[in-house]
Structure 1
Amino acid sequence: MVNSDEDDFDPERRHEREVAGQLATERSEFVSLMQHFYRGELGRVTAWRGRLDKTTNWAVGLMASLITWAFSAPDHPHYIILGSLVVVTVFLFVEARRYRIFDLWRSRVRLVEENIFANAADPEGVVHERWRTMLAEDLREPTIKVPFLEALVRRLRRVYFPMITIIVASWLFRVAVFGPTDIGVLEAAAIDPIPGSVVIGGVLLFYLVMAGLTAWPIDRLAKGEKRLPSERDDEWREK
């Protein structure tokens, strides 16, 4: 019986441990590997995008339910709407964290798209000359590229600040219009034992803080947006 190559396979040998390094010099094999890699990373992006959507759906559903219940009867307490404001804020922080992880996978997908697929469709050169090194470094040491503040601001701008605005406006309307007619707005906004003036001041202060964060100028470190190639390279190297 003739011994096959598998009979001499020794996983401890350096040649066997670094067998994947041969793909770096074989063009067809490397392109095939990138195809499978792209599909795998795209699956991760899709999964984490679904997690972002689920968080948003939970926040919207809860907000709509609590606001509807607060307006369904005059004796229902108005502060249940403020409860939805607290829960939506919690969802905001959860989604900001998920967005940072989502961007980790998206950055790899965009790197492949910018330097392989885009160049195949219109061969004018790669966006990043060191894209293979960049990808290898990120695979060896995955790093989250989006600061938490940027993720928080981006989710506020895209989704959560409009939701917070709806909640605050609904609460003010509920207190001012659907509250008891024999007392003033300040008395109607009270949450025993907290005076109405303190409640209204706290809600408005919270809203102004969220508005300030939404308008906060931030540098774009997340991938996937159109920026100058030099800016993308510098930001990636800093990470």
Structure 2
Amino acid sequence: MAEDWRKWKTPPGGTGNEFDNAEIGALAHLYRGEVYRSTMWRTRLDATTNWSVVTLGIALSVSYADPLTSALPLLLVGILIVMFLILESRRYRYFNVWRARCRWIETNFYAPLLLRSHRPDPGEWQDVLARDYLTPQYHIGFWRAVGRRLRRNYMWILSFQAVAYFGKVIVHPTPLSSAQEFFARMAAGPISGEAVLAALVILHGAWIWLAIYTRILDKRAHGAREGVSGMG
């Protein structure tokens, strides 16, 4: 019967005391591979952020090109930005796996190697890393990933989109003179201005709440960095 790897505390055949030269070399190559994968996924994250910025820039150019131009492009681009946010959050969950492994090796292998000037001993950190390779899994949930991308990039993009939209409504084609005119300008076809305003308040209120709430979850999750969950 095959041995159950879930019960391993040190690699079969290993000394359990310290890494030999071959094992240190293998771990160094492993680290290089994880750095490469995290770099590639980081590039994918940057791509979706760039798409959001570019589409927002196009919407700004179209809406502000002429005072008589509708503010609708600035409203619709918000849907695209949310779609890019969802896509980037899914990518971030993959990126976070490689990033966390790199950081785990840095803090538990390379840092002791530099500080103590001798080979780091295998220990619990090694078991955690081995289990993460044997049973790969996401280190964070989808909504926490959304919250992280919001706090990093998209809170600024969505805020700028909201300011640009309301600025367009307020100043073009002429400065506002009444609340009725404000709601009339916000109307989108058969959708009343009041309904559009309510939808925007809900959308922006939701992402602000999500950014704050997931920040609290991150602090709770990493208050005690133990096991695979502590890697992310």
Q: Normalized against structure 1, the TM-score is what?
A: 0.80
CA distance in 2, matches of 1:43, 1:238: 18
Residue 187 of structure 2: aligned partner? 190
Deviation at 1:179, TM superposition (A): 3.5
Partner of 1:60: 53
Alignment-derived partner of residue 205 in structure 1: 202
Distance 1:123 1:149 in 2: 40
Specify the SS of the correspondent of 1:107: helix
Structure 2 residue runs of 5 or longer lacking an equivalent are 1-10
Whether 2:62 is the aligned partner of 1:69: answer: yes
What does residue range 217-236 of structure 1 map to in structure 2 within 5 Å?
217-220=215-218, 231-234=224-227, 236=229
Q: How many angstroms apart in 2 are the aligned matches of 1:22 and 1:195?
A: 69
Per-residue CA shift, 1:44-85, capped at 9, x if unaligned? Answer: 000001111111111111111111211001232211101110
Query: Structure 1, residues 116-139: CA drift from partner, whole Å, max 9, x if none?
Result: 110111129979931221111111
Other structure's SS at 1:194 match: coil
Deviation of 1:234 after TM superposition, in Å, equals: 5.0
Question: Aligned residue for 1:83?
Answer: 76
Q: Which string of whole-angstrom CA distances, capped at 9 and with x for unpartnered residues, describes residues 162-203 of structure 1?
A: 111111111111011114569711111111111111112211
Superposed displacement of residue 22, structure 1: 7.5
- How many residue pairs get matched? 214
**Amino acid paired to 2:79:** V
Which residue type is aligned with residue 55 of structure 2?
L
Runs of 4+ in 1 over 6 A off after TM superposition: 124-128
**8 Å Cα contact 2:48/2:84 also seen in 1:** yes
Higher RCO, Cα 8 Å, sep 6+ = 2
Structure number with bigger Rg: 1
Q: Is the 8 A contact 1:114 1:127 kept in 2?
A: no
> Which residue identity lines up with residue 220 of structure 1 in the other structure?
D
2:161 matched to 1:167? Answer: yes
Q: Which amino acid in the other structure matches residue 154 of structure 2?
A: Y
What is the RMSD computed on CA atoms of the aligned residues?
Answer: 2.9
**Distance change (3 Å), C-alpha of 1:157 and 1:24:** same
The amino acid across from 1:148 in the alignment is F
d(CA) in 2 for partners of 1:66, 1:23: 62
Do the aligned residues in 2 keep the contact of 1:85 with 1:164 (CA within 8 Å)? yes
Q: Amino acid of the residue matched to residue 60 of structure 2?
A: I
